Amino acid sequence: MELDERNYLYLLFLLPLLVAVFFFNMYWKKKKQKEFGSIDAINQLSPERSVFKPVLKLIVMLLALLGLIFGLVNPKIGTKMETVKREGIDIVFAMDVSKSMLAEDIAPSRLEKSKQLVSQIISRLGNDRIGIVAYAGSAFPVLPITTDYSVAKMFLQSMSPDMVSSKGTSLDEAIKLSATYFDDKSKTSKLLILISDGEDHSDGALAAAEEANKQGMRIITIGVGTEKGATIPLKKNGVVESYQRDKNGEVVVTKLNQASLETIAKATKGGYINGNNTKEVMEYIKNTLDNIQKTEFEATQMADFQSQFQWFLGFAFLLLFADIFLLERKTSWVKKLNLFNETP
């Protein structure tokens, strides 16, 4: 886990602490000197001792410490701009978040397995732009097309059945919404990766896929679940309280519908892969991406923030070097000025 450089600012609390220790030490010394004898007599025994020099050394040490702290914080200035050209494709991930995805016939659950698959796919991408759509009985835009993979993964982990209020699974709504993510005028290759258990409670998925094909979209479907199926646990605080039931009160058993997913993929000259084996999915996606033409799709202006830590560290080490030559005895030319009334 990387340490945030701004956390070094907490070291600034050392400065008032050092000042407090310094003045406490000065107070303690004076107290002990009074116990030993009169202050005037002690001053006569050490006439070259300066009252100002210890304070000056403290100021120098505080400034040096301040420089070291800001050097660790590493302030940056974004003055340089450069053009970055990207070459890749546009990919939209459409994830089924219906309640059937809570079934645990695939560990830890169909939904969590889907998140793992998408996260690993994103980690293997290069310069491609990605977007995320969630769907159940209706489709919901989660993340618009972006090249920020870290943000995409953050949104991905927050996906749950609570995101979409309507029940059921509507594959056609997912395809239609995903199609709006792509620019019709762009020549960039368009790929929709649809992850689902294949249960479809609406009509028109095939028609939506055929329309997507006309728009130049290719659809890869990933089936998550088993043909044997499983019940849908309803949990509270991680504990199963009951199981999903239908209108007749019967416990629902949800099964993988591979045929519907294969039909959708075939309509766009795409492909279907069973998502239960992560390694096979990764290899299949890699081969698919390798065979899709990459296009230069944007020229982005990016600020190249330049580190400034060296100036602060140089200032700090210069003061530490100067501190070596700051002795606590009086300086001759300052002594003649008698600025602090140190001579009678």
- Cis? peptide before 108, omega within 30° of 0: yes
39 assigned to some structural domain: yes
Instruction: Give the strand order in the sheet containing 271-274.
Output: 139-146, 129-135, 90-96, 190-196, 217-223, 271-274
**Distance (Å) of CA 192 to CA 13, 67, 119, 178, 220:** 53, 52, 15, 7, 6
Asked if residue 208 and residue 283 are part of one domain, the reply reads yes
Instruction: Give me the domain span that covers residue 47.
Output: 5-75+308-337
343 assigned to some structural domain: no
342 assigned to some structural domain: no
Residue 310 CB contacts under 8 Å (≥ 6 apart), including other chains: 71
Asked if residue 233 and residue 211 are part of one domain, the reply reads yes
Asked if residue 241 and residue 205 are part of one domain, the reply reads yes
Asked if residue 121 and residue 187 are part of one domain, the reply reads yes
Asked if residue 145 and residue 61 are part of one domain, the reply reads no
Asked if residue 139 and residue 253 are part of one domain, the reply reads yes
Asked if residue 70 and residue 178 are part of one domain, the reply reads no
344 assigned to some structural domain: no
Q: Along the 344 residues of the chain, how does pLDDT read in single tens digits?
A: 445 677 888 888 888 898 898 888 888 877 776 666 565 655 555 555 566 677 888 888 888 888 888 888 888 776 555 566 777 899 999 999 999 999 999 999 999 999 999 999 999 998 889 999 999 988 999 999 988 899 999 999 999 988 887 777 889 999 999 999 998 777 889 999 999 998 876 778 999 999 999 999 999 999 999 999 999 998 888 788 888 888 888 998 999 999 999 999 999 999 999 999 999 999 999 999 998 888 876 545 555 567 778 888 888 888 888 877 766 655 554 455 554 455 54
Asked if residue 19 and residue 154 are part of one domain, the reply reads no
252 assigned to some structural domain: yes
Asked if residue 217 and residue 143 are part of one domain, the reply reads yes
The pLDDT value given to residue 2: 46
- What gap in Å lies between CA 340 and CA 334, rounded to an integer? 9
Helical residues (DSSP H) of 37-160, grouped into ranges = 39-45, 52-73, 110-123, 149-157
- Retrieve residue 237's tokens: 């605080």
What is the identity of the amino acid at 187?
Answer: K
Q: Report the half-sphere exposure of 30 (CA within 13 A, side-chain side).
A: 7
Domain count across the chain: 2
The pLDDT value given to residue 329: 58
44 assigned to some structural domain: yes
Helix (H, G, I), strand (E, B) or coil at 205: helix
208 assigned to some structural domain: yes
Asked if residue 197 and residue 243 are part of one domain, the reply reads yes
173 assigned to some structural domain: yes
Helical residues (DSSP H) of the chain, grouped into ranges = 14-36, 39-45, 52-73, 110-123, 149-157, 171-179, 205-214, 258-267, 278-290, 309-324, 332-337
Q: Which residue has the tokens 């003055």?
A: 79
Asked if residue 119 and residue 40 are part of one domain, the reply reads no
**Distance (Å) of CA 16 to CA 20, 56, 62, 319:** 6, 16, 9, 19
CATH of the domain at 246: 3.40.50.410
Contact 94, 178 (CB under 8 A): yes
Asked if residue 249 and residue 330 are part of one domain, the reply reads no
Nearest partner of 134 among 150, 113, 157, 151, judged by Cα:
157
Whether the pTM exceeds 0.85: the reply is no
- The β-bridge partners of 220 are 193, 271
